[in-house]
Chain A
Amino acid sequence: MVTDKVILELGKKAKLMRINILKMLTKAGSGHTGGSLSAVELLVSLYFYKMRHNPADPKWEERDKFVLSKGHAAPAFYSVLALSGYFPIEELMNLRKLGSILRGHPFSAVTPGVEVSTGSLGQGLSMAGGMAIAGKLDKKNTRVYAILGDGECQEGQIWESAMSCAHYKLDNLCVLIDRNGFQIDGPIMKIMEVEPFAQKWKAFGWEVFEVDGHNLREITDALDSAEKVRGRPSVIIAETIKGKGVSFIENENRFHGTTPTKEELEKALKEIGADE
């Protein structure tokens, strides 16, 4: 059981992450705001609670590994890496600039802490599966985590991988799905329904957990439970709100692929309580 104090600390990290995400996106002038803000609590729970990792030694042999399959949430990923200490916080302000280590979508060759390259949707789960197989081959106790988008699950490759991860009994793999209900063209249920979602994963042989994706206690509990599952991979379907944390960005799909203006940033930071 996670203590209240830990939950409180995680909450503070989540707030810092939102502030950084909004600032870096506004500075960059392009990028994905909504889907970055919806994944904050998932990333905080992984990097500051569950995962064994060492920011001073990103290639530490005994580390747990992470894949951001929904690569467009790179600002959230970079923000959690910077807060963890993989690179200086100031670097975030170079997002998407020529020569920066922070490209528009995660690129393993240039960013410390990024294991594989993503951005083209549907490919991260396969890579996470490969990493989990490698962990089994090397008889390591380490785990592999991946965050997927719900819209991303329209890709056929996700289900190819879902099948093979269960077939190879990858119980060292835990997937978190940022179920914010939107994709770039609109609500998922209107564009291409993915429901019955939990049933699909169950049918593919996965252990399924369903949580409130902004409730740190529910997420951390599910991560702990997933670690105890044997013989099959786990998926945590996290109900989230796209743009979570800023009233005028929440569920406003205009912010899928656009960034706040300077005025909107100020308003948003005030609402989050950036000065408090």
Chain B
Amino acid sequence: MSKESSLKKFYGTREAYGETLVKLGRINRDIVVLDADLSGSTKTSMFAKEFPDRFFNMGVAEQNLIGTAAGLAASGKTVFVSTFAVFLTGRAWEQVRQSVSFPKQNVKLVSSHGGITVGPDGASHQSTEDISLMRTLANMKVVIPADAYEVKKVVEYAANFKGPIYIRCSRDKFPVLFDEDYVFELGKGKILRDGKDATIFACGIMVSASLEAASVLEQEGIDVRVVNMSSLKPIDEDLIIRSADDTGAIITAEEHSIIGGLGSAVAEILGENRPTPMIRVGIKDRFGMSGSSEDLLREYGLTATNLVNSAKKVLEKKGERVKA
């Protein structure tokens, strides 16, 4: 580990969510929070402690969790619903579709334990399909924040925005990238580091890995643009096209299946507008497994090292293309 990374600060995305909920709950009496027996893990327990009358634990019953949230939203409440990502988006997907997304109910789906960094619990509790499942729903917005400060801003945004939105938090603490002054804009990608040779579009924990990869590449004379693509839907179509024009090579990085996630979303835009050499870094049609987060990230290639190699590969593709 480099000296720089050993000095990194870490801050939990789910902790940031719990703190923000409490803050919002003090300002807005219409905010209610529901959980399905995982409030200690999702950190909605912080809201439950301060506002027991506005917190509803629905037990181990995710379908009813979503339906009840929809009924509360139909009655004018701003409803935050939380459980693990795999249960929130998978177990109750059709309830989200019928009761929330289709009638545009004001329900905020905020998961914890997204991706494989759930760790030792293994595949049953890991979520590698949630972006795909939520992205396909009409009316649904999808955001995967890159650090805890972004979580705060996204959750505040969600509370003031009317309609359904999915926000993914994680079990592990994320390296801190931003601060309290961070500004979140739905539908906008943020260039965190500019470069001319290739662009990495990343979301979630892969944003910090991408920045790390960019530093390594810089030392080898490769100049890479890194974009925080936290807003997966709507997605910043203009920035994707512009980056293809500016850099001519694209990498996507996500702690999610490359089928249906960020890689797919970017490929859809490029395919229709600017076919460009591209590599998708993510989980390649596999389920997760048990292990420490660090081991799992390595096993699935979700590392700065793999991003460095992928950048070199995509530059080769770009080179072949220029020659042709």
| Partner-B contacts on A (CB < 8 A) | 65, 67, 107-109, 115-120, 122-135, 137-138, 156-157, 160-161, 163-164, 167-168
Contact = CB atoms under 8 A, between A and B. Distances in A.
A138 B94 CA distance: 29
B98 A130 contact: no
Given A108-B103, A127-B99, A133 B61 contact: no
Interface stretch (B38-46, B68-76, B178-186, B209-217): B68-76
B61 A130 contact: no
B243 to A, nearest CB: 37
Interface residues of B, number: 29
Interface of B: 32, 53-54, 56, 58-59, 61, 63-64, 66-77, 94-95, 97-99, 102-104
A156 to B, nearest CB: 7
B102 A127 contact: no
Contact of A157 (B54, B64, B75): B64
B68 A123 contact: no
B64 A129 contact: yes
A157 B74 contact: no
A134 B94 CA distance: 23
Nearest to B36: A160
Contacts of B103: 107-109, 116-117
B72 A131 contact: yes
B317 to A, nearest CB: 45
5 A-B pairs with the lowest CB-CB distances in the bound complex, closest first? A130-B71, A126-B67, A134-B75, A160-B64, A127-B71
Given A109-B104, A127-B74, A134-B72, A120 B63 contact: no
User: Which residue of A115, A129, A134, A138 has the most chain B CB atoms within 10 A of its CB atom?
Assistant: A134
B74 A164 contact: no
Contact of A133 (B56, B99, B102): B56
Given A126-B95, A164-B58, A164-B68, 14 more contacts: A108-B103, A109-B104, A117-B102, A119-B98, A122-B63, A127-B68, A130-B69, A130-B70, A130-B75, A133-B68, A133-B72, A134-B77, A157-B63, A161-B64
SS class of chain A's interface: helix, strand, loop or mixed? Answer: helix
Nearest to A65: B75
A126 B70 contact: yes
14 contacts: A120-B94, A123-B63, A124-B67, A129-B67, A131-B71, A134-B72, A134-B76, A134-B77, A137-B53, A138-B75, A160-B58, A163-B61, A164-B59, A164-B64
A126 B98 contact: no
B68 A126 contact: yes
A25 B249 CA distance: 57
Contacts of B69: 130
A155 to B, nearest CB: 9
Given A156-B63, A163-B61, A123 B72 contact: no
A103 to B, nearest CB: 11
A77 to B, nearest CB: 15
B106 to A, nearest CB: 12
Given A126-B99, A164-B61, A157 B72 contact: no
Nearest to A105: B98
Contacts of B98: 117-120, 123
Contacts of B59: 160, 163-164, 167
B275 to A, nearest CB: 36
A115 B72 CA distance: 11
B35 to A, nearest CB: 12
B77 A123 contact: no
A224 B157 CA distance: 45
Nearest to B66: A126
Nearest to A131: B71
A228 B253 CA distance: 59
A109 B70 CA distance: 14
A115 B74 contact: yes
Nearest to B56: A133
Nearest to A125: B67
Contacts of B53: 137
Contact of B67 (A109, A132, A134, A161): A161
A135 B72 CA distance: 9
A148 to B, nearest CB: 13
Contacts of A117: 98-99, 102-103
B64 to A, nearest CB: 4
Given A123-B95, A134-B77, A157 B68 contact: no
A120 B59 CA distance: 23
